[in-house]
Amino acid sequence: MDLRAPSPHRLINGRCVRPLASAAMDVEIAIRTRRTHKAYASKPVARETLSELLDLARWAPNHNLTNPWRFRVVGPKALERLKLAAGPEAATKLDRAPSLVVCSAALSGDELTDEEDLHATANAAYIVLLAAHSRGLVGYWRTPGVLRTPEGQRAVGLEPNERFVGLLYLGHPVQEQSPPERAPAADVITFLD
Ligand SMILES: Cc1cc2nc3c(=O)[nH]c(=O)nc-3n(C[C@H](O)[C@H](O)[C@H](O)COP(=O)(O)O)c2cc1C
């Protein structure tokens, strides 16, 4: 697959190095070149940029327009509480990225709506990662055990009706990341008669 982008966008080692415009091809490049990064520069993501990413996430598809997604940008005090809840070993992994966002879904208790709202929230989380990538940032969707515990959920203020979906790590890149294998398209696509 030829991933070369039309001017002014360029790909270096498979990574799009210019912000995206609105053309469909640019979206395809972003989708193909976004990678999970687990190492970051120390510089935090600007608050304004975080606001842009989370604002964009609201445009995820959403049945019945329930707006189920919730995002909490983790500040220094919340990070300390979360690290305390995680314990010393797991806490070190929470220091990897300069910016962390807890993504959760506010659920109603209706089984079908909740299933769809979880899907919608996962889409919203992906938008955050994709939009971060399009701005030259990198990220990582993590599901650490601490955020499945009552202590961890309390540390970041999750309400009883909220389901934890992902802890989004965001930051500036320090290295290239090679793409992990995907199953060939033919293995997962069926055109039904
Ligand atoms: C719902 C979800 C949960 C994930 N949780 C973790 C995690 O806890 N730890 C981890 O290393 N990666 C986690 N990931 C990231 C995947 O490991 C990663 O997307 C996968 O290796 C493919 O790499 P790529 O993102 O560069 O395409 C998660 C991804 C998703 C969608």
59 and 26 both lie in a single domain:
no
Is the pLDDT reported for residue 74 higher than 70? Answer: yes
Please check whether residue 71 lies inside any domain of the structure: yes
- 28 plus 40 within the same structural domain: no
Least-confidence region, from 25-34, 42-51, 70-79, 148-157? 25-34
Are 117 and 165 spatial neighbours (Cβ–Cβ below 8 Å)? Answer: no
Q: Do residues 42 and 22 share a domain?
A: no
Is the same domain home to 62 and 131? yes
Residues 5 and 70 in one domain: no
- Residue minimizing CA distance to atom 2 of ligand 1: 141
Residue 119's CATH number: 3.40.109.10
Does residue 180 have its Cβ closer than 6 Å to ligand 1?
yes
Backbone angles phi, psi at 99, to 5 degrees: -135, 130
For ligand 1, atom 13, the nearest C-alpha belongs to 142
Q: Rounded CA gap, 149 and 39, in Å? A: 25
Let me know whether 62 and 151 are in one domain: yes
Claim to verify: residue 97 and residue 3 sit in the same structural domain: no
Split into its structural domains, the chain has a count of 2
Q: Rg of the chain's alpha carbons, rounded to an integer?
A: 18
41 with 29, same domain: the answer is: no
Whether pLDDT at 148 is above 70 = yes
Query: Is the CB of 178 within 6 Å of ligand 1?
Result: no
Residue 186 lies in a domain: no
Q: Are residues 17 and 50 in the same domain?
A: no
Instruction: Tell me which of 176 and 2 has the higher pLDDT.
Output: 176
In this structure, the answer to whether residues 74 and 162 fall within a common structural domain is yes
Residue 189 lies in a domain: no
CA distance 170 to 131: 11
**132 occurs within a structural domain:** yes
Q: Residue type at 23?
A: A
Q: Which of 167, 15, 180 is nearest to 96 (CA)?
A: 167
CA of 35, closest atom in ligand 1 = 26
Same domain, 16 and 106: no
Please check whether residue 192 lies inside any domain of the structure.
Answer: no
- Cα distances from 138 to residues 41, 85, 98, 107, 187, in angstroms, run 10, 26, 11, 29, 29
Ligand 1, pocket-test mutation among 121, 142, 175, most atoms within 8 A of CB: 142
Q: What is the spatial distance between Cα 65 and Cα 68, in angstroms, rounded to a whole number? A: 8
Q: Which residues contact 70 (CB under 8 A, 6 or more apart)?
A: 103, 104, 105, 106, 162
Task: Determine contact, residues 184/157, Cβ cutoff 8 Å.
Answer: no
Rounded to the nearest integer, the mean pLDDT of the chain is: 91
Question: What confidence score (pLDDT) does residue 3 get?
Answer: 36
Whether 91 is covered by a domain: the verdict is yes
Does 182 fall in a domain?
no
Structural domain boundaries enclosing 16:
1-33
One-letter amino acid of 186: A
Residue 87 has pLDDT above 80, yes or no: yes
Same domain, 63 and 126: yes
Residue range 135-159: mean pLDDT, rounded:
98
Task: Supply the angle between the helices 47-57 and 111-134 in degrees, to the nearest 10.
Answer: 140
- Mean of the pLDDT values across residues 145-166? 98
Query: Is residue 184 in some structural domain?
Result: no
Q: Which of 85, 82, 53 is nearest to 69 (CA)?
A: 53
- On whether the CB atoms of residues 27 and 21 are closer than 8 A, the answer is no
